[in-house]
Every structure is written in structure tokens, then in C-alpha cells.
Chains A and B, each alone.
Chain A
Amino acid sequence: MHTLKTQNSKLKTQNSLGDPFLVIEDVSKIYPTPDGPATVLEGVNLTVYEGEFVCLIGHSGCGKSTLLNMVAGFGTPTTGEVRLQTRRITKPGPDRMMVFQNYSLLPWMSAFDNVYLGIDSVYPNKSKSEKKAIARSHLNLVGLTESADKKPSQLSGGMKQRVAIARALAIQPQVLILDEPFGALDAITREELQEELLKIWREHQVTVLMITHDIDEALFLADRVVMMTNGPAAHIGDVLEIPFPRPREREHIMEDPTYYELRNYALEFLFSRFAHP
């Protein structure tokens, strides 16, 4: 397995996970503005392997969301391309399901119907009872069996995000994209959901790409932490390999001196080398 090395160059040679799954190649994004073109991202290269859990961290406005949006297909790169298993990504699709920070549940539908809507759309050939069973089993997976008939307004923030995760997983995406999913939650709920997300990730063998602001969250969850430089023209500054064995336990990790080495390295990157402008 991997030894603890934090250098990007060494990582690539050590990776033994097989064929590239999701490839971001020479991607740049330039928005036209009244004051001339504004380069948000420039020369972004990242290869993600199947089943990997990758976290993106960086200061706000550095283009993390722009990058994820291109993976999701909401935007297209100005130059370069994003490929999923050799297919070029040009538009959104159920193979790359997104979980949004603000949950994006439809407020007029119950938790069950929110999950069912996606299943119904993605599996038109399945019978109604099969689709209902899928919705129920995914609500069960996130521990919301009893709240299935509640509307989003009757659910807490953490429960809403569970519904959003259930909705995303129910359509069996190849890549799960999470844009600061736990940013709006309190610390305790956040930790609970992180653990559940890890459990689900292990069981579903899904590839996860997640934006976070929280270094501890990234270190606990990810196989690799991708650190972005500041914009304009942001790119990937460094990639941290997180060597802790899985299944991970928060207490064990926190006792490991490596944890603080990595943490300090990331902090140094974010707050000294690329301090917020």
C-alpha cells in the first residue's frame, strides 16, 4: 500500500488502482466579463480512480465549485476536457449525481417522493413496486424510514441532507459529487453524517468527489485531498495522500501523529503559501 508521501509527483507513480476512471485534463474556464475575460481555472489536471474518495479544498472563490460543475456537466470547460471512462462529459446525467449544499429537495414533496422522483425518471422500465422498494431501501440506508412521509420543512438540516444523499444514491451514480454537503450543519450532525457517508461509500463502491472547507473532514474521509491555489487562474497546488487504513475511526486517526503532520501541511498550504487574499 501507499507510504506516507505528500508530494504530488510521487503519488502518480505509486497509484495501483487500475485504469483512470474520471479524468480532468488541461481544463481551464474563462468567463467573459465587461472588463475582459476572467480566468477562473487554468491547467487543471486530475485523475480519479474507480472507488476513490477525493476531497477538494481551497479558499472560497478559487473555482472548486466551477470544477465540480464541469464534472457534473452543468458547465463545460473553455479548454481541455473532462472524461468519465473515456466518454467526454458535456451535459448533466444520472451517472454523475450531485448533492448540493442547500439540499435542493423539492419542498412540496415528501422525503419519499423526492427520492422516488429520481428513480422514476432514471429507471422507466422498472415496475412501480420495484421503484418504490428502491426508494424505501435507500431511505432506510440513511436511517429515515420513519420520516419517509414528512415534507422537507418538517425535517432538520441533517435529515434533509440524508434525504438528498438517499436521492443521489438511489439512482446508482458512478460518481457522487458533493458540494460542501455538511457546511450548513452543526458539528455533531456533521460528524454523524461523515461516518454514515463513509459507510455508504464502502458499501456502494461509488467514486466520490467532494468539496469541503474543513481540513479535518477531508482528512477523515478522503483517500486523497486535492488542494487548490487561489484564483484567478486557480489550479491544483498539491495533492495529499491520506494513508489511514479503512475502516477509519475518528479516535484512532486523531491519535496518529501522521494526522497532525498532514493537517499542518494542509494548513500551511492554505494559510501561508496560499493565504486568503
Chain B
Amino acid sequence: MTARTARRPKSNKLPKFLTTFLQDKLAIIAPPLIAIAVFMVIWQLLCPPGSKGLPGPLQVLGETWDPYIIYPLFDNGGTDKGLGLQIFASLQRVGIGFSLASLAGIGLGILIGTNKVIYRALDPLFQVLRTIPPLAWLPISLAAFQQSNPSAIFVIFITSIWPIIINTTVGVQQIPQDYRNVAKVLRLSRQKYFLKILIPAAVPYIFTGLRIGIGLSWLAIIAAEMLVGGVGIGFFIWDAYNNSLLSQIILALVYVGVVGFLLDRIVSFAASKVVAEEQK
């Protein structure tokens, strides 16, 4: 201990705050990196080169390096596109479906949360509808829209709207009686009550709904795209499976996981910016 502290000023020229900063970061980054490395080694040992079945990580890298990893934006027409473009196509569908679901879901949630009769009328219906798996909507969606793209967007919409409606409803219903009393004594106008009390009080709940919704959307789009086809990461996986290109599937799964994680982080980051400190 004494030897180490005595040696330190000579060997370590970095300022102290920088070294402590790096040490802190290292403590956070190192464990997951080690875990990934261990996982890769086990995977490689279980799936050595030349074996049948799943490819090992080295084989996946080798088979997908050119073009899938180094050219994410290549475009050979049709569905033969880089993974970046495939993901982008899927994200577009999710973006449209999820945005529509957010607007409709928050609106409906506020309506249901503020009106007891409407709540009693619709809540049982929603509780049943929300348990329907996303893909079960696809056939009627295809029958109704007659086109694959709107059908996939509808599946996203109908999958993500329920948690948004239900959480918004709860958020509006749980507004503390004190706040309502304050509004009553001050005789706040409906508009003021809505903007100054109802929305800020419900925002944390709304964001919980949005976060669950975006996660479900991303789950649903992969499955929906597998069935409806076209450009998109879901169909890319299905297409690769049909051509026995397992390495491509594994790479695509990594992309899907990372994008899903990022979507979740974006929504929770937005929530942290909007939701007041006291309400967390």
C-alpha cells in the first residue's frame, strides 16, 4: 500500500479527476464486456467450424462481413438491401403505427379517465381486446386493407394502443383529490385544469404506457413483416431462413435487439426530460 502510493505521482501523469473518472467508467463498462466475451467463447466452443447446425460467432462474422456488416446501406433493388435500410423500413412502419397509437391512445385514455360512464362502458372491452396477440389481428387487417404495408402498420397500431390507453386512464384517475380540490376552489376553467393539472399529473403514467407500447410495437413488427413480406428486418430474417442463411439471421437478431433497446431508451430519455423530478 505504501509502496503504491509512493510510486503513484511518478508513474501516473494523468490528473487525478481523470483517472478516477476512467476508473468509474471502467467499473461500469468492464463487467458486461467480460460477460459478452465469455458468452462468445462458450458459443464458439459449442459450435466449432465445420459442425452442422448453428454457426459459431467467427463463422457468423466471416459470412456476413461483406456486404451485411460493412455495407449496411447497399441497395440491389427489390428486397436485396443492406441491414440499415431493412431496419429503416421497419422503423418507418413502427413510427407511423406507434405515432397514431400514441395520439389515439392518449386521447381515448384522457376521455375514459375523466368520464366514469365511458370508463365503465369501455374498460371491460379493452381488457379483453388487449390480450389478443398482435398477429391475430393480421388476417382481418389484411382483409380490411387489402395491402401489406397498411396491414402491418395497423398491427403495430392495435398492439401498442392498449397499454397507452390503459396507463393514460389510470394516470388521469389517480390525480390526487387535493389537486382537484385546489382546482375547484380556484374555479379553474376546463382548459386550465386540463393543461395545468390533468396533463402534468398524468404524464408519468402516459410515458409508462408509451414505453410499454414501443416495446410491443417492435416485437410485433418483426412477426408481422415475416408474414406480409417486402423490405423490412422481419422479412429479411424469414427470407434468410428460407435460404438457410443462418449467419444472416443471427446478425439480424443482434440488430433487432440493439434497435429495440435504443427505442426503449429514447422513450425513457424523453420521459426523464418531461416528467418533473418530484413525480418520479
Contacts and interface: CB of A to CB of B under 8 A. Distances in A.
Interface of A: 72-74, 91-94, 96-98, 100, 102, 104, 106-109, 117-118, 120-122, 151-153, 171
Nearest to B278: A107
Contacts of A102: 178
B178 to A, nearest CB: 4
Contact of B189 (A72, A98, A108, A121): A121
B277 A94 contact: no
B185 interface: yes
B103 interface: no
Contacts of B188: 117, 121
Contact of B185 (A96, A106, A108, A152): A96
B189 A151 contact: no
A117 B196 contact: yes
Nearest to A119: B186
Given A74-B181, A106-B179, A117-B196, A152 B278 contact: yes
A66 B30 CA distance: 60
Interface string B148-188: 00000000000000000000000000001011011011111
Nearest to B185: A92
Interface of A is mostly: loop
A121 B278 contact: no
Contacts of A91: 184
Contacts, number: 61
Interface of B: 176, 178-179, 181-182, 184-189, 192, 196-197, 200-201, 276-279
Going nearest first, the 6 A-B pairs with the smallest beta carbon separation are: A107-B278, A104-B178, A108-B276, A108-B200, A153-B278, A92-B184
Contacts of A96: 185
A107 B188 CA distance: 17
Nearest to A114: B182
A98 B185 contact: yes
A72 B200 CA distance: 26
A122 B187 contact: yes
Contact of A151 (B187, B197, B276): B276
B185 A94 contact: yes
Given A104-B181, A122-B186, 18 more contacts: A72-B185, A74-B181, A92-B184, A92-B185, A94-B186, A94-B187, A98-B181, A100-B181, A102-B178, A104-B178, A106-B196, A106-B197, A108-B278, A109-B196, A118-B186, A120-B192, A153-B277, A153-B278
Contacts of B197: 106
A100 B187 contact: no
B277 A171 contact: no
Contacts of B196: 106, 109, 117
Contact of A92 (B181, B189, B192): B181
A151 to B, nearest CB: 7
17 contacts: A72-B185, A74-B184, A92-B181, A93-B187, A94-B185, A94-B186, A94-B187, A106-B182, A106-B196, A107-B278, A108-B200, A108-B278, A121-B186, A121-B187, A122-B186, A151-B276, A153-B277
Contacts of A92: 181, 184-185, 187
A161 B189 CA distance: 25
B171 to A, nearest CB: 13
B188 to A, nearest CB: 5
A19 B189 CA distance: 34
Nearest to A120: B192
A96 B196 CA distance: 22
A91 B181 CA distance: 11
Contact of B277 (A117, A120, A151): A151
A72 B178 CA distance: 13
Nearest to B279: A107
Contacts of B278: 107-108, 151-153
A100 B279 CA distance: 20
B182 to A, nearest CB: 5
A153 B189 CA distance: 26
Contacts of B176: 104
B190 to A, nearest CB: 12
B277 A104 contact: no
Residue of B178, B201, B277 with most chain A CB atoms under a 10 A cut-off: B178
A52 to B, nearest CB: 21
A98 B186 CA distance: 10
Contacts of B185: 72-73, 92-94, 96-98
A72 B180 CA distance: 14
A272 B184 CA distance: 40
Contacts of A74: 181, 184
Nearest to A117: B196
A108 B279 contact: yes
Given A106-B197, A108-B200, A108-B279, A117 B181 contact: no
Nearest to B181: A74
B88 to A, nearest CB: 36
A109 B200 CA distance: 10
A64 B277 CA distance: 35
